[in-house]
Structure 1
Amino acid sequence: MTTARIQPRVARRRPEWLVPAGLITLSLVPMVAGSARLTQLATGAAVTAENARFFDSPVPVVAHIVGSSVFLVLGALQFAPSLRRRRWHRISGRIVAPAGLVSALSALWMTLFYDMPASVTGPGLAAVRIVLGTAMAAAIVVALVAIRRGDVRTHSAWMTRAYAIGMGAGTQVLVFLPYTLLASPPAPLTRTLLMTAGWVINLVIAEIVIRRRARAGRRRAGAPMAASGARLS
């Protein structure tokens, strides 16, 4: 009697660079806007009510633009599995984490001390920014503490949450664009809701990614045990 061999089903894997490329693409709009702001400051553009706060105190906005750009680009590359298995991940992580802290803390400073014009804010938006800026900085600190004690899973989860908050400006473009095209420039309260929606979307996606990683980790941990049991039986 012959025994039919069961061929394992090979799962189709998506290209590993798809996610990093998408994240970098999403971050291009805020990065281009930040570059334009730096150009204004460097070339001495005309001071208006919209940009006066940046000329009065340029250090926080420069720190925020540079820190955010480094955090978004290098952070996106951390999602490539092949790079996570190499020394590059650890080396770049020593740049990503400080850049993220600079981004979060400078955002908090600007929220607390800049005189925001009505055209770029809305009711309650400052409170949302303070909560999320604090959460982003705290998430990075928790991630650093976790990796120092060798807890890779906790480190990965909290850095993913921090990146989701830092990527808020990119997702907000996708939220604002349809509304502006279909309706009109948002009123102050609508602006607050749309911007908050961008962060919420990112955080929901981050939690989905974190849970999928946890399930995949449990399956990998269970596979050797199952194989060992098969050999003993």
Structure 2
Amino acid sequence: MTRTLLPTRLTSPWAISIWLWLLGSLPIFLMGIFSLASALGWIEPIPDSETYVANPVPISLHIIGGSLMLLLGPLQVNPRVRLRRRWLHKLAGRMFVLGGVAAGASAIWMALTFPLISGMTTLLSNLFFGGAMLTTLTLGLRSILKGNVAAHRAWILRSYALALGPATQRLLFMPYFLAFGLIDDPILGLILIVGWAINLAVVELWVLRRSRRAPRVAPAE
């Protein structure tokens, strides 16, 4: 009994939501440390920080939209909220989509209008993020409007995986940053792509596992 009690607690619906909240807060925590170290002169400032200051609208939309997704995503994947608090699931879902549209559209906006400071690979990776975010959300909405809950869930999970990309990317950034300092293109762009790819691969494995399991639990005719 003791052997199964701990894993059950760690993998319960609310435990998974808490883990996802912690993972989603990682980029904010690390960025806070980075900003403090930069202000104290311990490290060099972000090369394009002046561009962000001069263009507050798109960066604000990106941060607010992404934060909404990271805040609401753990609720959306929690089956207890989805089944017992359907009103909350629907309300949070609408806000999740709005946040995703803001994050995705602003990513494309910044990639196409900001000076090319970080490099072409980083620009292309940001265009991928924005396009993929808007595409997955659109397909998720279309699926639920057609009554295809399984497809809706899969597409929304893909959009959430994209939103969690910065957390995975920061984990990949840190060893390189500690060893070599600021990261330049194309390594920066490649790390961004790898971070999103890891998250999307996890979702695809989950979708594949669910699809293989579905015929066994389907009611007999």
Q: TM-score scaled by structure 2?
A: 0.81
What is the CA-CA distance between 1:49 and the residue it aligns to? 5.9
Is 1:163–2:163 an aligned residue pair? no
Q: Which runs of 4+ in 1 moved over 6 A?
A: none
What is the CA-CA distance between 1:97 and the residue it aligns to? 0.9
The 2-side partners of 1:97 and 1:49 are apart by 31
Gaps of 5+ in 2: 36-45
Choose from 143, 148, 152 the match for 1:151.
148
Choose from 158, 161, 184 the match for 2:180.
184
What is the match of residue 137 of structure 2? 140
The 2-side partners of 1:116 and 1:84 are apart by 42
Choose from 74, 77, 91 the match for 2:75.
77
What is the match of residue 97 of structure 2? 97
The 1-side partners of 2:176 and 2:54 are apart by 33
What is the CA-CA distance between 1:26 and the residue it aligns to? 1.5
Equivalent residue pairs, number: 200
What is the CA-CA distance between 1:116 and the residue it aligns to? 4.7
- The answer (yes or no) to whether the contact 2:123–2:189 under 8 Å persists in 1 is no
What is the CA-CA distance between 1:213 and the residue it aligns to? 2.5
Gaps of 5+ in 1: 1-9, 38-47, 229-233
- The answer (yes or no) to whether the contact 1:31–1:69 under 8 Å persists in 2 is no
Residues 151-199 of structure 1 show CA distances to partners (whole Å, capped at 9, x for unaligned) of 1011011111111112111110111112333x31334222222221111
Q: Which has the larger radius of gyration?
A: 1
Choose from 1, 9, 14 the match for 1:17.
14
- Percent of paired sites with the same residue: 33
What is the match of residue 26 of structure 1? 23
The 2-side partners of 1:157 and 1:49 are apart by 37
What is the CA-CA distance between 1:115 and the residue it aligns to? 2.0
Q: TM-score scaled by structure 1?
A: 0.77
The 1-side partners of 2:58 and 2:189 are apart by 22
- The answer (yes or no) to whether the contact 1:142–1:158 under 8 Å persists in 2 is yes
- The structure where helix makes up a greater share of residues is 2
Alpha-carbon distance change, 26 to 116 in structure 1, aligned in 2, over 3 angstroms: farther
Q: CA RMSD in A?
A: 2.5
- The answer (yes or no) to whether the contact 1:108–1:134 under 8 Å persists in 2 is yes
Alpha-carbon distance change, 148 to 133 in structure 1, aligned in 2, over 3 angstroms: same
What is the match of residue 126 of structure 1? 123
